[in-house]
């Protein structure tokens, strides 16, 4: 009964258009009132404990870092670097766009920021060079979702806080799936353009390669500094966010000379607003997680799934399907915070490593960023390229199918996720 109340409440409030954080809070109150699993008096303490966590400090710093790099125009140096490397091969600007998305993802950890920064530069360029606008938009949008997978990743920080799993292990575990995703995107781009004849740029001279590398070098050093510091034990993932912010400000101000006090003030205010929204969602979701745990909803869902199959592989595949469906209708952060306390106990009970579960769930949810009706990345893409959503969907569906395949591949072959964390951290 409590499971039915939970599902009806959360989806009713969301479909009514109530903001996510308040939908979750109203669900908590509804469950408290109708089932008696908790009282109103204790909900504020749930909210406070939900954000009283040092690791959550990484969220505003990573958001600010991404906004600083976007405003500081670090993406242009990366785009030029990738064009110099790949522009001379057939349909090379598309490969350059995907590579640029992967590199920028390693700087920001956010798909929306990646498609805005890289798409804003690459899409007008690709269309001007005669590339099909729908193909080009599909290419950039599909490449952009590597943002939450390749470290650093904001969803991985949130999952680490919710689950108690090492954020560092989550970061390292996302490297191989993120690289596979980028490579598969390039393979799809190859077949999409196999029979098309696009003008190829002249092969860059060593002097041009050196110039592009020198320009992009400050931006390219960002992931090296962050991950190197984390793996070397110099600083924690949270402290890495602080270092990244200082570095992004320094490069934007003194190297690229795009940052001034007025722009910095605007960026900080925008980042503060984004952080407040996310932190409110995390607080309410932590309260919901407490109620879910007390109400034994994970056990109820586990019993429901066990009636379908007791095979661990089948159970994980069923969870993946459910996550994919939720990802169609909900953004990554709220979906992640709601689903983690429900499915993590089920996953660990069948012997699945929490790091594998976290990476696979995040992967399944980010696919929703390039599928309607939510599909935030899609809408930003069509806003830049000025095409219709239907035209984009006709081109991007093969990439979506391939990403489904990668999701189930990393589920069935968990060593693709665990290999690097085990190698680096033991």
Note whether residue 6 is domain-resident: no
Give the pLDDT confidence of 143-170 residue by residue, as tens digits: 998 888 988 888 898 898 888 898 889 9
Per-residue pLDDT, 40: 65
Give the pLDDT confidence of 382-403 residue by residue, as tens digits: 988 889 989 999 999 999 999 9
Q: What's the domain count of the chain?
A: 1
How far is Cα 424 from Cα 426, in angstroms, rounded to an integer?
6
How far is Cα 297 from Cα 356, in angstroms, rounded to an integer?
22
Note whether residue 380 is domain-resident: yes
Note whether residue 20 is domain-resident: no
The parent domain of residue 385 ranges over: 40-425
User: pLDDT under 70 in the chain at which residues?
Assistant: 1, 35-41, 50, 426
Note whether residue 126 is domain-resident: yes
Is the distance from CB of 207 to CB of 196 less than 8 angstroms? no
Distance between first and last Cα of the chain: 44
Note whether residue 107 is domain-resident: yes
Enter the pTM of the model: 0.85
Give the pLDDT confidence of 194-249 residue by residue, as tens digits: 887 777 778 888 899 999 999 889 888 888 888 888 888 888 888 888 898 899 89
CA dihedral in degrees (120, 179, 350, 423; nearest 10)?
-130
Note whether residue 19 is domain-resident: no
Residue 381 exposed, middle or buried by CB count within 10 Å (0-12, 13-18, 19+): buried
Note whether residue 333 is domain-resident: yes
Per-residue pLDDT, 225: 86
Note whether residue 22 is domain-resident: no
């Amino acid at each position: 009964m409590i499971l039915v109340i939970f599902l009806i409440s959360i989806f009713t409030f969301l479909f009514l258009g109530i903001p996510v954080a308040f939908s979750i809070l109203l669900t908590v109150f509804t469950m408290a009132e109708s089932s008696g699993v908790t009282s109103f008096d204790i909900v504020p303490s749930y909210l406070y404990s939900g954000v009283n966590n040092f690791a959550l400090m990484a969220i505003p710093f990573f958001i600010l870092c991404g906004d600083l790099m976007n405003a500081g125009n670090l993406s242009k140096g990366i785009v030029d670097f990738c064009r110099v490397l790949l522009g001379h091969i057939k349909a090379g600007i598309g490969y350059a766009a995907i590579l640029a998305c992967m590199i920028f993802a390693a700087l920001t950890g956010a798909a929306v920021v990646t498609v805005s920064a890289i798409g804003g530069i690459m899409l007008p360029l690709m269309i001007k060079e005669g590339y099909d606008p729908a193909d080009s938009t599909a290419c950039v949008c599909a490449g952009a979702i590597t943002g939450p997978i390749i470290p650093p990743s904001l969803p991985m920080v949130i999952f680490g806080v919710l689950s108690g799993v090492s954020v560092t292990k989550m970061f390292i575990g996302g490297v191989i799936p993120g690289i596979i995703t980028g490579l598969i995107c390039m393979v799809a781009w190859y077949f999409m353009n196999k029979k098309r004849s696009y003008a190829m740029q002249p092969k860059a001279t060593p002097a041009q390669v050196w110039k592009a590398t020198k320009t992009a070098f400050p931006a390219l050093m960002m992931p090296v500094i962050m991950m190197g510091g984390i793996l070397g034990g110099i600083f924690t993932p949270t402290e890495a966010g602080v270092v990244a912010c200082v570095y992004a400000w320094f490069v934007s101000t003194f190297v690229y000379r795009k940052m001034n006090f007025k722009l910095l003030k605007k960026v900080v205010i925008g980042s503060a607003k984004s952080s407040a929204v996310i932190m409110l969602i995390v607080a309410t979701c932590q309260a919901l997680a407490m109620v879910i745990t007390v109400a034994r909803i994970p056990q109820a869902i586990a019993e429901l799934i066990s009636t379908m199959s007791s095979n661990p592989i089948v159970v994980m595949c069923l969870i993946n399907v459910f996550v994919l469906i939720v990802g169609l209708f909900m953004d990554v952060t709220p979906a992640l915070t709601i689903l983690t306390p429900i499915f993590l106990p089920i996953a660990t009970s069948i012997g699945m490593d929490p790091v594998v579960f976290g990476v696979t769930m995040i992967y399944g949810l980010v696919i929703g960023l390039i599928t309607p009706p939510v599909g935030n990345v899609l809408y930003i893409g069509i806003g830049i390229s000025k095409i219709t959503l239907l035209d984009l969907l006709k081109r991007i569906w093969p990439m979506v199918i391939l990403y489904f395949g990668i999701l189930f591949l990393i589920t069935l072959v968990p060593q693709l996720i665990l290999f690097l964390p085990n190698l680096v951290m033991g």
